[in-house]
Structure formats: C-alpha cells, structure tokens
A and B are shown apart, each in its own frame.
Chain A
Amino acid sequence: MRAAFDVAVVGAGPGGIAAATIAAEAGLLVCLLDDNRSPGGQIWRGLNPDALKKNPHGLAFSEWTQRLGRTHCEVCTGSQVIDSPAPNTLRLERDGELNDLSYGKLILATGARERFLPFPGWTLPGIAGAGGLQALVKSGLDVRGTRVVVAGTGPLLLAIAAGLTDAGAKIIAIYEQAPLSKLIGFGLTLTGFSRKIAEGFDYAMKLRGVAYRPGCWVKSAEGSTRLNRITITDGGKEWAHDCDWLACGFHLVPNLELPLLLGCAVSEGYVLVDDLHQSSVAGVACVGELTGIGGLEKALLEGEVAGWFAAGREDRARALSPRLKKQRAFARRLDRAFDLRDELRNLCTPETIVCRCEDVVFSTVRECASWREAKLHSRCGMGACQGRICGPQSEFLFGWKYGGVRPPVFPAKLSSVAVSEPSPREAESLL
C-alpha cells in the first residue's frame, strides 16, 4: 500500500466513513483505517443488503458505503494503529506486519466501547456486554430459544433487546438502572429528534410483552462454570431469574487511547474540539463518540464537518454548525438521563473481581489511592486489555482519573514493539 496520504482517517464507523468520503470526493488522497475485518463500525456491524430493509440504519449505511466506493479512498481493514512514532506518522500492525504511514491531516473516529461495572459473579461465561452479546449474535451465536435478561443502562438496551428478539431469543426482561423520572425528562427533551422517537417506538412495538423496568439493576449472578441465575433489585425488593445469557452494559465510553497518545486535550471524558472538530493538536480532528456519545446521526454529521475542513472547505463545514449544535445537546442529555446511580458503587463484595485480566479483587484495589498506585501495587489495569475495561469502572467506583497512554496502544507482537524507538512522550508517560 501507499505510505503517504493527504488525510488519514482512523475508524471506519459512520463518522470515519463520512469524513473519508467527503475528503476523497474533494480529490484528496485518503486512507481509511480500521482494525475490524470490514468497515461499518459497531452500529453498522454485520449489515448485509438483506437486512437493510429491516434496519433503520441500513439505508444510511448503503448510501455512504456506495459513495465511499465511488472514490479512490484506500480502505485498510484489519489494520491496528499501535503507535505514532514521529509527527504526522502512524504505525500500523496488519497480519503481524508493521507499516508506517504518513499523513498531512488526521481524523480520528475511533468510536466507543461499552462501560462495564463489576458485581458478584459478573465474570461468569454467559454474561456479556449488551452490545457484546449483540455482536456475538451477529457473528453467528445461536440464541434461538435461550432465556436472556438485558440490563445496565442506555438507549442501546432497547435496540439490542429488539435485535435479540429477532434472533429468536426469549427476552425475560429489560432492566434499566436509570429511574423513570430521568427517562421521562429525557423523552420530553427529544421533541427535536422525531426520527429517534420513531425508532424508539419501533423497538417498543417489537418488544410488546417484554417488561422494560427502569430503576432496577443486577445485584449478583450465580453459576458454576456458566451463568444460570441472576438477582435483580430495585433498591428495596430483590428477585431472581433463571437465564442462559445476561446482556449487561452501562452506556458507552469513548475510545480515547489514540487521541491521548497524540496529546489531544480531553475534558469531562471527551476530546475537546472546536466548531470545526479540530482538537488541541494542530491537524488532528476528532469526530463521533470521541466528542460525546450521540450515536449515528451525530457521528455522520461530525465526519462531514471534519471531511470538509480537511478538504479546505471551511464554508461547507461551518454550514453544518446549527445541526451540529443540536446533536451535541442531544449527547449531553443522553449522559444526564443515563447517569449512573450511586448504588452501583456498592455492589462488589471484597472478593469481587475488578480487573478481569489479572484477577485483582475489589478489596485489593480499594486499598489504593489512585489509578497509578493500583497499577503499580495491584496489577489492576496491567493486563492484556490495558485498563480498557477496569479503567472506566475504576473512574466510577473510586473517582480516579485513568489515562497515561503509552505505545503500543494495543497489544502487539513483541517483534512489533522491539523496532519502536523510545520517544520523549513514552518516557513522560511511563504510567
């Protein structure tokens, strides 16, 4: 593949696809990178033409991928960005091989992952993220006839429960930790988002007969080698369900590793960007969930803004500003509506595992004063996921700031790391 591009886009979800398409249509040499096997990101994962009619997002997906396909944009899937060894350079690992790629401008659209929170038994096989179970079903997991409880928080729970129903699962109930009062408040502020409401109704229709219970959460899970029972609480009463799967996720957190590695300023959990989606680092734009969890429409719009700006068309980018403001306001309302309740901090027993990679238990992590100390003294966050799972949960449980990214930002083969020159940034951010 070519080694130098006008624009590199990292993340081939909606935001990245929109950015790459606009920049490439303007005649720039563009490269679109993603570590997954195919473009689409999480929301468009596994869509195929047959599914387009059923999926409310399908139409946008086919429009944008067709548009992208008509450009000369180079799409590199299966490519993991592991480092930025020099200015305007990304180091990629693909099929065990390393490549450096240089760019004039960089657009980051690395998306989000689910937030997980620990509770007794949460490490049992059979408990996956809500999006996690959906992804597994899209990659062939047969859930026909299985009993599934969907729990956690966020608007995705409804969509995911609908998808699981379509796949033949028996949804026992959906438990949303946010209280009804907050959800109603959120619903009332949605008037400017008729399409989102329509989607919500569609899901609600499919789910007729399935209980959607706000103000409830999973207290614990039981099983020997696999999940077979969970206990739910509303803060007063407790009740149990026998089930085969628990799909449990607590809204989303942005994948900040790459922006942090490049030095982009972050505030309140999201990358700080201006009206043109430029970060604090010159030439680096951030779009989509990185700037606020807002979903598909926000990501597409922000991708367009960054694409137009990269193409030198600030006028076109600024023309989208009014719509952008609405999307950002929507993202802030989502965060408030699905704010995590305090009771979720008190679910762990001393023996509950917090760091799944290293099996570090709650009582050990609780003794530490900071994320840094936890890493040094308990190995929490030092395992293969590099704190991607226990970092956000420690932030919630203990009020710590996790961060301090250093290359490789993704577990790489030793031979890939061995060729890396130590950088000043690496020395600075040893932890």
Chain B
Amino acid sequence: MSSDGFNITVNGKQMRVSAETSVAAAMMMAGEPCRTSVRGEPRGPLCGMGICMECRATVNGRKHQRTCQLMCAPAMEVATE
C-alpha cells in the first residue's frame, strides 16, 4: 500500500487503504459483504457503477450509501447493513 494511505475500519476491523480506493473495493478486500439481503444472504457489489444498489452499506453512521460511488477517507467507519 502506498505511503499516502490511511486507516479505515470495516465492521470493526482496521485496514489500510489508499485514497484512490472506493468503499466497495475496501469492503471486498476486507472480506466483508456490503449488505445483507431480505432473506439474510451476504451481498457484494455487482455493477460497479452505482445502478444495482447491491453495494449499499452504512458509512460513518449514514445508511444506504452506494459504496462503489464513495471513496474512502481517513478514519472512515464502514459497516455491513
């Protein structure tokens, strides 16, 4: 990881990412699903362009964020929803 990286937490686990990393990419690298479906299945990003809504997660307490369209920021707290 490049020297200009920073830490975020994904479901309580700390990880180091670069500033050019989307939250969806970070969650996949952390091995965490983005959301839990209606019947309880783990889901991750599908379309990568903000249309399918499968990458919704809670970011800094805000629910339903499309994480593929959102870049990581220092100390960001991300949670599967």
Taking a contact as CB atoms under 8 Å apart, the answer to whether A36 and B42 are in contact is no
Tell whether A217 is near chain B: CB-to-CB under 8 Å: no
In the bound assembly, the distance between CA atoms of A255 and B34 in angstroms comes to 25
| Residue with the highest number of chain B CB atoms closer than 10 Å, among A128, A134, A356 | A128
Q: Given the complex, which residues of A lie within 8 Å of B31, measured CB to CB?
A: 226
Tell whether A113 is near chain B: CB-to-CB under 8 Å: yes
User: B21-32 CB contact bits vs A (8 Å, 1 = yes)?
Assistant: 110111011010
With A114-B47, A128-B46 known as contacts, the answer to whether A388 contacts B41 (CB < 8 A) is: no
Q: Given the complex, which residues of A lie within 8 Å of B53, measured CB to CB?
A: 357, 383-385, 411
Taking a contact as CB atoms under 8 Å apart, the answer to whether B38 and A226 are in contact is no
In the bound assembly, the distance between CA atoms of A356 and B45 in angstroms comes to 12
Taking a contact as CB atoms under 8 Å apart, the answer to whether B21 and A139 are in contact is yes
Nearest chain B CB to A16 CB, angstrom units = 15
With A139-B24, A140-B20 known as contacts, the answer to whether A129 contacts B48 (CB < 8 A) is: yes
Taking a contact as CB atoms under 8 Å apart, the answer to whether A125 and B43 are in contact is yes
| Residue with the highest number of chain B CB atoms closer than 10 Å, among A124, A125, A225 | A125
- Among A42, A131, A358, contact of B38 (Cβ-Cβ < 8 Å): A358
Tell whether A431 is near chain B: CB-to-CB under 8 Å: no
With A134-B48, A139-B25, A359-B37 known as contacts, the answer to whether A226 contacts B42 (CB < 8 A) is: yes
Chain B residues within 8 Å of chain A by Cβ, number: 36
In the bound assembly, the distance between CA atoms of A125 and B22 in angstroms comes to 16
Tell whether A35 is near chain B: CB-to-CB under 8 Å: yes
- Among A42, A125, A129, contact of B28 (Cβ-Cβ < 8 Å): A125
Tell whether A67 is near chain B: CB-to-CB under 8 Å: no
Q: Given the complex, which residues of A lie within 8 Å of B78, measured CB to CB?
A: none
Tell whether A142 is near chain B: CB-to-CB under 8 Å: yes
- Among B28, B38, B68, contact of A359 (Cβ-Cβ < 8 Å): B38
In the bound assembly, the distance between CA atoms of A293 and B2 in angstroms comes to 38
In the bound assembly, the distance between CA atoms of A248 and B26 in angstroms comes to 21
User: A358-395 CB contact bits vs B (8 Å, 1 = yes)?
Assistant: 11000000000000000000000001110011000000
In the bound assembly, the distance between CA atoms of A131 and B69 in angstroms comes to 15
18 contacts between A and B (CB under 8 A): A116-B46, A123-B37, A127-B46, A128-B48, A129-B48, A135-B48, A136-B48, A139-B21, A140-B18, A140-B21, A140-B22, A140-B25, A141-B22, A141-B24, A141-B25, A357-B53, A385-B53, A389-B51
Chain B residues packing against A (C-beta within 8 Å): 17-18, 20-22, 24-26, 28-29, 31, 33-34, 37-39, 41-54, 56, 64, 68-69, 71-72
